[in-house]
Amino acid sequence: MELIVNSAPVYVATGGKEFDPKLPTVLFLHGSGGDHRTWALQTRWFAYHGFSVLAPDLPGHSLSGGDAFTSIEQSGSWLVEFLEKASVKKAHIVGHSQGFLSALELYKSKPEMCLSICAIGTAAAIPVNQALIDTAKESSAKAAHMMCNWGFGPGAHQGISSVPGMQPIAISRAIMSRNPLAADLQACADYLAGSEIAASIKAPRHCILATADKMTPLRSGKALAEQMGITPTILEGFGHMLPLEAPRQTLAALREFIQTVQNESA
Amino acid sequence: MTNSSYFKPATIALHTGYTPESDHGSRAVPIYQTTSYAFESVQSASSLFNVEQGGHIYSRISNPTVAVLEQRLAALEGGAGAICTASGMSALFATFITLCSAGDHIVSSEQIYGSTATTLRYTLKRFGITTDFIDINDSDALKAAIKPNTKMVFCESISNPGMQVSNLPEISKVANEAGVPVVIDATFATPALNRPLEHGANIVVHSITKWIGGHGAAIGGCIIDGGNFDWGNGRFPEMTEPYAPFHGMKFWEEFGPTAFVMKIRSEAMRDLGAALSPHNAFLILQGVETLELRMQKHVANTLELRDWLSEQKGVTWVRHPNLDAEPHVAEMFPKGAGSMLCFGVTGGREGGAAFINTVSLASHLANVGDSRTLVLHPASTTHSRLTKEAMEAAGIPEDLIRVSVGLEDFADIKADFAKGLKAALRAAG
């Protein structure tokens, strides 16, 4: 579906079912250079099992209009307006990498809108090498090439795919190459408020991390989990791009967390 | 390294898409000779049918052995995804009907494989899909041929049997600027010699019966989606509008870079049923593993044969893509432009027949891309019903011998061809 937020059109994937704000909603936030397709193998399950799903292409990305955020802080107020436009008062928030930083800003702005927060393949701070940012300014495609090399774990590098015939590395490269990576990476590099907000979260929260994550190394993810006061789910042998390279395992961990929260709040 | 993998091609060919499986540790890719796959539970079955998760349901749609081959070929070409089919022709047909509906139009190179030309000229026409054939390397002609209802520009990387090398960078520029994808049959090139996606193509099709399988043992085809075309440009409602038979899915929105290949798996594989058998996938995988090594030897033998034939009495002409003549050939084929060549033999139709009847190492048959050297004389076989004039109009002179150069020791190929040429000279009187 399409919403207009800040006067710009926003494409929102809804998991193959019409969005119903009366159902418990799960909001999926993609990472740097990504789009709603990051969540292709998670959103449909939720949409067909009692939830409503919102997986937007953030401004300036893929099928959405507008300009990319120049700071993570900007994304917080945007997400508030986005949820209001979708008539959603509260949602389970799921963020991958940079998407989790945006989730933190949403929580800071309107904690009451967050039924729960789940961090996937991320950390409280995501420092970015200046050379990568400079490369992205010159060419998103070149930066995407570097990021996919680092971002995917050994299985994806060996061409293993949960969907027959597909190459997740090539799919991610194609998407990232067309999106405003430089702005995303700069926003991540500049963001320093994550630890404080993460430590303040009162809503149910969880982390799903991976042992072979080179973009946000496991030790940073574990530090985040400690700040959030939870025991993370750690997926063995996978890299940073968990929703794509370990879709079943990521979905299983997400389902368990969100369904538990939902059952307890019912 | 390709757009899909950070491994080098020789490593991709051996490893991509498979790690030793957990139950038995089979080092070779196992043959999953099965029609179907037991569901873990009702919920799991429901998830598979509802595309909530990836996996296999029925081998007409996908199969684990075939999937390894698909993932390996996608990686070798640098594509986002691939789908294998029962033959090269079914790969082409699936591509045509996925992109075109009644009233749509294709621009094709006039120099293409005869069966493909027949499909475009006759079969698709019966379903309201028309094709204009042009000199594909004439940019002005290409620009002029593209209409509002054109859904693809089609060509072969090295044409069969004319040996024309399509100027892919230029063709892709013109087609993509007009919002039309370039579909290329790269059978004669293989990813070991040229990766068309790196030169601007959007979809690559192979008859993997040929050099990719490489041993003349199994028929198969493959379609590789480059993931580099904007299907949302307004020209492709098949990709952007809800597809009622498959959950009302909008393929471009849902799958983005793999929209095309997912549409093929969801529609054409269901409707055509042209699935590659797992056993054939296994045989072709054996060929893939040595593709790079074999192509080096194929090309080396071809260049030696080209040079030797050029100096022989009894040979009137030799045709092989010339790296020196056209800049785009050298740019696209730095490792050599394949292992097909044609030559003219003294004595016309009779001389050609004498050559074919005399060679013994080279096999006389209607295939190319075997490990063994293959020869064909169209005037006495595939085109024997045509007059001399009709053959010349088709660009196939009576004296043409088509050679698919094999992997034998070149000295033995040379000796065999010398015998054939001597017989042709005798026939010519």
**Rounded distance between C-alpha atoms, residue A240 and residue A217, angstroms:** 8
The rounded Cα A249 to chain-centroid distance in angstroms is: 16
Mean pLDDT throughout B27-48? 94
pLDDT tens sequence across A8-54: 999 999 999 999 999 999 999 999 999 999 999 999 999 999 999 99
Q: Candidates 3.20.20.140, 3.40.640.10, 3.40.50.261, 1.10.3720.10; correct CATH number of B9-288? A: 3.40.640.10
Q: Locate the domains of chain A by residue range.
A: 2-127+191-265
Q: Cβ separation of B78 and A164 shorter than 8 Å?
A: no
Q: In terms of Cα–Cα distance, which of B28, B21, B94 is closest to B60?
A: B94
- Residue A40 burial class via C-beta count within 10 angstroms: exposed 0-12, middle 13-18, buried 19 and up: buried
Nearest C-alpha of chain B: how many angstroms from A117? 22
A1 touches chain B (CB under 8 A): no
A159 contacts B12? CB cut-off 8 A: yes
Instruction: Looking at the complex, report in whole angstroms how far the Cα of residue A164 sits from the nearest Cα belonging to chain B.
Output: 5
A219 pLDDT exceeds 90? yes
**Do the chains contact at B5 and A159, CB–CB below 8 Å?**
yes
pLDDT tens digits, one per residue of A79-121:
999 999 999 999 999 999 999 999 999 999 999 999 999 999 9
**CA B26 to mean position of chain CA atoms:** 30
CB atoms near residue B429 (< 10 Å) = 8
Dist CA A246 CA A210 (whole Å): 10
Q: Which two tokens stand for residue B324?
A: 């020196």
Mean pLDDT of A209-237: 97
**pLDDT value of residue B2:** 76
Average pLDDT, whole number, for chain A?
Answer: 96
The minimal CB distance from A170 to the residues B3, B253, B255 is found for: B3
Helix (H) or strand (E) segment spanning residue B96: helix B88-99
**Cβ within 8 Å, pair A159-B72:** yes
- Predicted confidence band of residue B394 (pLDDT cuts 50, 70, 90): low
The residues in A 36-75 lying below 8 A from B, measured between CB atoms, are 37, 40-41, 44-45, 48, 62-63
Domain segments of chain B: what residues? Answer: 9-288, 292-428
What is the pLDDT, as a whole number, of residue A241?
A: 97
pLDDT in tens, B286-344: 999 999 999 999 999 999 999 999 999 999 999 999 766 788 998 999 999 999 999 99
Among B5, B14, B41, B52, the strongest candidate for a mutation testing the A interface, having the largest count of A CBs within 10 A, is B52
Higher pLDDT, A266 or B356: B356
Q: Which residues contact B334 (CB under 8 A, 6 or more apart)?
A: none
Instruction: Please tell me which of the candidates A37, A41, A169 has its beta carbon nearest to residue B53.
Output: A41
Does CATH place domain B292-428 in 3.40.50.300? no
Q: Does domain A2-127+191-265 have CATH number 3.90.550.10?
A: no
